[in-house]
DNA sequence: ATTTTTCGTGTTAGCGCTATCATATTGTTC
DNA sequence: GAACAATATGATAGCGCTAACACGAAAAAT
């Protein structure tokens, strides 16, 4: 560790002719500094390419500069994408990320949460679905007064800031695209019942059909669990129906991939005899053949937003924030690939 | 941040009736402490459930307690698995992980490495393939005298510790398993030429055939790049051969998945008319249908080992270590699933 | 013009730990 | 048992930063 190289707060202070404390205030954006001094300091920071020492900061301040990320067990690629995104933005803001997997067991999950709070002393927590909807976890955090951000939560939307995308609208649009391609017999594989997005996507699907005056027979709706396996058995049922659907909308890519497999197994050509669309645009969507038409979720952007919300400190005082500021919706994108096509 | 809760070094010192410095010495395993005092202190540490404050440590010591992880662009699931593994073990050892993606551009990659060294001041670096074989990166690290561990490296094996598995042997065994299932016409899709493991797997494949007196026509060997796409075009060629192989051994799961897709496209049943085996046992292997028979790489264990090697400090002085200590081989496992079967 | 309030800035102490050196306690040699 | 080396422990001073207060200057109120 080369000590000569590092610029310290003192160097910046000397260079701009003020005290260390003033520089500190400028960097932490709290406290009051006149515009003139602030500008002066900022110039010095830039010129010296100063980067604060996270450890010294953490040691001296009441903040830990740690954020926690708690994930459950959705698709691996979803978690890893989110993870990479948040690591990147944490680093940019001088924070560190402590990652923990929530166990299936509620008691263990709560233990993890408490350890993050008491031992690691995180400044805030990011909760991925479906952990973000476990009431006991939310209670623990609220009681401990730890700020947290939830990703695509399902319930109790007023208790914390959250990032999400418009699952309903995306489902509506991708369904409508199938309709525009001439499909009428469209089946749906619902996502995991514990994940709120599943319901929204299902609703979007239904409403798209309704607004186009298309009715859905009940046997066109199958319950899945976001896993390949569940998708496979759902698709098998759909494809063995008397009146086989010409298109399947699966609530995520894993189940869409499974639908394609099921089609292969039954010698049904995709997309000529069956169109399949998924949701999420995980790497899987372009790793199976044919590539899956899907909805791109901006996972990295969601991670960035989640980190930013915590870092900003805007929500540190839970009583002072208005409901309207809690919701942060990011844009999606419909991706047309080879697994869906015009009905012939 | 609740200050009352945390046990400090001082508390441990008081509790065991020695000075802070002695406790520090016990914890850091350097310096000399008598066995009696060490025992006393260790008891106190346990009783008080003491956890050292990483930031204070970092601030006061010459170490940064940061490790860097540099990855390139192999399969997402490989990276994310490794990432999760190393995060876990870093946390357990009180280190933090700084992750950086190596750009395709050499200059940018070197810039990342230098930033990790100079700005973040990492204590050590983990290099994933194929970054672990870029001479300029290795040179930079050697010059800066930063310890690093490489994962499945290809070349210059004497310059740093590394973790790997026996790719050759694993390839040999999974090929032999196909042979034992009655297969004679076995094709191979080679992995990315820049990744050393590709060659080892290819060699293991060849030697398994040779030792069973089976000859391979040259058209049974296709070059791939570890991507689904490259695997698809390779498999297409293999399956359109006059004398079609009855089995394909792909150098990773992505290309095995592609081979299965290609089979579907050509109306070839897997595994009844074509057996396919892969390598890595990433999540993909059990997300396509049929599930892929493959070699399980112990990715998380490799991550753990890599972190441990750096944390141990055994290799901080590059001149003092013997060649024999550098190599760390972990066990693999052959996983038989539904994509391969007895030849009928 | 004086008091009060605000704002902007500097001063001091210390966060929890380790490096460094000083000191105390052994053990070893002749 | 004196003289030395080796080993074991303690005291002190920071690492780079911020909290908490102190203080002067400007603005507002009397």
What is chain A's mean pLDDT, rounded? 89
- Count interface pairs A-B at CB distance under 8 A: 98
The helix or strand, by DSSP H or E, that contains position A134, with its residue range, turns out to be none
Q: Residue B214: which residues within 8 A CB-CB, separation 6 or more?
A: B179, B184, B186
- Tell me how far CA of residue A289 lies from CA of A87, A119, B108, B224, B228, in angstroms: 31, 47, 34, 17, 9
Subunit contact B99:A80, Cβ cutoff 8 A: no
A interface with B, Cβ–Cβ below 8 Å:
1-2, 5, 51, 53-56, 58-59, 62-64, 76-77, 79-81, 83-84, 87, 91, 96, 98-99, 101, 118-119, 121, 228, 232, 254, 257-258, 261-262, 264-265, 267, 283-284, 286-289
Distance CA B302, CA B86 (A): 9
Is nucleic acid strand D under 7 Å from A63's C-beta? Answer: yes
Q: Name the strand (E) or helix (H) holding A140.
A: helix A135-144
CB-based contact A338:A300 (threshold 8 Å):
no
The pLDDT assigned to B203 comes to: 98
Domains B9-52 and B66-165+299-329 in one fold = no
**Interface with chain B: mutation pick from A287, A303, A316, A338, highest number of B CBs within 10 Å:** A287
At residue A206, does pLDDT exceed 90?
Answer: yes
Contacts of residue B83 in chain A, CB cutoff 8 Å?
Answer: 80, 83-84
Question: Is residue A3 very low, low, confident or very high in pLDDT (cuts 50, 70, 90)?
Answer: very low
Q: What angle do CA B254, B152, A82 make, to 5 degrees?
A: 55
Average pLDDT over residues A32-50: 89
What's the pLDDT at A320?
A: 59
Q: Which nucleotide is nearest to A58 (CA to C1')?
A: D17
Supply the DSSP symbol for A308: H
Nucleotides of chain D touched by protein CB (<7 A)? 7-12, 14-20
Q: Specify the CATH number for A9-52; select among 3.40.50.970, 1.10.260.40, 3.20.20.70, 3.40.1580.10.
A: 1.10.260.40
Rounded to the nearest angstrom, the gap between the alpha carbon of residue A223 and the centroid of all alpha carbons in its chain is 23
Which pLDDT belongs to residue B213?
Answer: 96
The CATH code for residues B66-165+299-329 is: 3.40.50.2300
In the CATH hierarchy, which fold is given to the domain comprising A66-164+300-328? Rossmann fold (3.40.50)
Distance in angstroms (rounded) separating the CA atoms of residues B167 and B297: 9
**Which candidate, B117, B24, B103, places its Cα nearest to that of B68?**
B117
Phi/psi of residue B114, nearest 5 degrees:
-65, -35
What residue spans define the domains of chain A?
9-52, 66-164+300-328, 167-298
* CA atoms of B214 and B217, how far apart (whole Å): 10
pLDDT digits (tens, 9 = 90+) for A135-149: 999 999 998 889 999
CATH of domain B167-298: 3.40.50.2300
Q: State the maximum Cα–Cα separation within chain A, in Å, rounded to a whole number.
A: 83
Confidence of residue A74 (pLDDT cuts 50, 70, 90): low
Length of chain B, in residues: 344
- Flag if B58 and A63 touch (Cβ within 8 Å): no
Among A55, A115, A263, most B C-beta atoms within 10 A, so best to mutate, is A55
CB proximity A241–strand D (7 Å threshold): no
The Cα–Cα gap between B84 and A101 comes to 10
How many degrees, rounded to 5, is the angle at CA B119 between CA B113 and CA B121?
A: 80
Q: Is B32 or A24 the better-scoring residue by pLDDT?
A: A24
Residue A145 · residue A315 · CB < 8 Å: no
Could you give the C-alpha distances from A68 to A59, A98, A170, B162, in angstroms and in order?
18, 5, 29, 30
Measured CA to CA, the distance from residue B318 to residue B148 in angstroms comes to 10
Least confident of A49-58, A70-79, A221-230, B10-19: A70-79
Q: Of A201, A222, A344, give the one whose Cα is nearest residue A275.
A: A344
pLDDT at A2 exceeding the cut of 50: no
Instruction: Give the single-character DSSP code of A292.
Output: P
- Within 7 A of a protein CB, which nucleotides of strand C? 7-12, 14-20
What is the Cα–Cα distance from A257 to A240, expressed in whole angstroms?
17
Angle formed at CA A322 by CA A319 and CA A326, multiple of 5 degrees: 105
> Do the chains contact at B1 and A80, CB–CB below 8 Å?
no
Residues in contact with A239: Cβ distance below 8 Å, sequence separation at least 6, in sequence order: A262, A263, A266, A268, A274
How many angstroms separate the CA of residue B215 from the nearest CA in chain A? 32
Instruction: For residues A196 and A192, give the distance between their C-alpha atoms in angstroms, rounded to a whole number.
Output: 8
A254/chain B closest Cα distance in angstroms: 7
Report how far apart the first and last C-alpha atoms of chain A are (Å, whole number). 68
Whether nucleic acid strand D comes within 7 Å of the CB of A19, the answer is: no
Distance from A253 to chain B by nearest Cα, in Å?
Answer: 11
What residues in A contact B122, CB-CB < 8 Å? none
Q: Do A162 and A149 contact (CB within 8 A), yes or no?
A: yes
Query: How many Å apart are CA B188 and CA B201, to the nearest integer?
Result: 10
CB B260 within 8 A of CB B290: yes
Residues B267, A262: C-beta atoms closer than 8 Å? no
* pLDDT profile of chain B (344 residues), mean per 10: 67 90 88 86 90 89 88 76 87 85 86 84 90 92 91 88 95 98 97 91 98 96 92 96 97 93 88 96 84 94 94 70 78 96 90
Test A62 with B91 for CB contact under 8 angstroms: no
Helices A196-211 and A167-180 sit at what angle, rounded to 10 degrees? Answer: 40
Chain B nearest C-alpha distance from A228 (Å): 6
Q: Which of A124, A128, A155, A121 is nearest to A142 (CA)?
A: A124
């Amino acid at each position: 560790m080369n000590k000569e190289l590092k610029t310290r707060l003192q160097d910046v202070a000397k260079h701009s002719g003020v005290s260390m404390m003033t520089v500190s205030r400028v960097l932490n954006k709290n406290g009051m500094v006149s515009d003139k001094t602030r500008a002066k300091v900022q110039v010095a920071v830039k010129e010296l390419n100063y980067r604060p020492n996270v450890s010294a900061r953490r040691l001296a301040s009441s903040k830990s500069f740690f954020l926690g990320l708690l994930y459950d067990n959705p698709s691996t690629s979803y978690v890893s994408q989110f993870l990479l995104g948040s690591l990147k933005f944490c680093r940019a803001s001088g924070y560190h990320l402590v990652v923990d997997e929530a166990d299936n067991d509620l008691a263990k999950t709560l233990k993890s949460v408490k350890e993050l709070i008491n031992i690691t002393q995180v400044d805030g927590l990011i909760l991925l679905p479906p952990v973000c909807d476990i009431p006991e976890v939310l209670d623990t955090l609220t009681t401990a007064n730890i700020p947290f951000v939830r990703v695509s939560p399902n319930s109790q939307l007023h208790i914390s800031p959250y990032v999400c995308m418009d699952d309903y609208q995306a489902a509506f649009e991708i369904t409508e695209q199938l309709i525009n391609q001439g499909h009428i017999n469209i089946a749906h594989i619902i996502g995991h019942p514990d994940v709120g997005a599943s319901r929204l996507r299902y609703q979007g699907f239904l409403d798209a059909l309704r607004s186009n005056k298309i009715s859905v027979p009940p046997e066109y709706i199958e319950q899945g669990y976001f896993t390949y396996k569940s998708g496979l058995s759902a698709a098998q049922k759909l494809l063995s129906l008397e009146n086989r659907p010409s298109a399947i909308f699966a609530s995520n890519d894993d189940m869409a991939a499974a639908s394609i497999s099921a089609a292969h197994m039954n010698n049904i050509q995709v997309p000529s005899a069956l169109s399949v669309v998924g949701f999420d645009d995980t790497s899987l969507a372009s790793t199976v053949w044919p590539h899956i038409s899907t909805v791109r979720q901006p996972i990295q952007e969601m991670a960035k937003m989640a980190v930013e919300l915590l870092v900003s400190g805007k929500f540190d005082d839970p009583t002072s924030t208005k409901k309207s500021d809690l919701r942060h919706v990011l844009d999606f994108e419909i991706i047309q690939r080879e697994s869906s096509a015009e009905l012939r």
